[in-house]
Amino acid sequence: MIRPPSDSAAYLGVSGACVMLLFFGCAVWQGDFQLEVRRILEMPWGKTVLVDVYVGLVLFCAWIFARERSPLVATVWTVGILVAGNLATSCYVLWAAATSGGVPARFWMGEKQ
């Protein structure tokens, strides 16, 4: 049996957030942020991957603005996403799933449906 998108999205949101927290923790514990970012930005593929990630985050934020009734709520989520990356996108997916009541259209379009 196929579950409604909100159930699947909730599982993905929790999984994504846990994986991101684990990797963030490892990076903070073992890494040197300034040195490693400098090295990444010196490489053409490093720049490409960074641009790719931020284009994806901006597209995700566009979905949030299409879904949310309140521009303030959408703006707060957008700032969080641009700062915390896919940790915040995972949290938003989880929140959207939790507030959709299992209705796929509400998951995708919020109360604007």
pLDDT digits (tens, 9 = 90+) for 68-87: 999 999 999 999 999 999 99
Q: Which residues contact 85 (CB under 8 A, 6 or more apart)?
A: 20, 53, 57
Q: Dump strand ranges (E) for the chain.
A: none
* Model pLDDT for residues 59-73, shown as the tens digit of each residue: 999 999 999 999 999
Tens of pLDDT, residues 2-36: 455 667 788 888 888 889 889 888 888 998 988 99
- Please answer whether residues 15 and 91 qualify as being in contact, where contact means their C-beta atoms are separated by less than 8 angstroms: no
| Domain of residue 36, residue span | 5-112
Q: Measuring CA to CA, which residue among 99, 55, 60, 54 is closest to residue 77? A: 60
User: In one letter, which amino acid is 60?
Assistant: F
Number of domains in the chain: 1
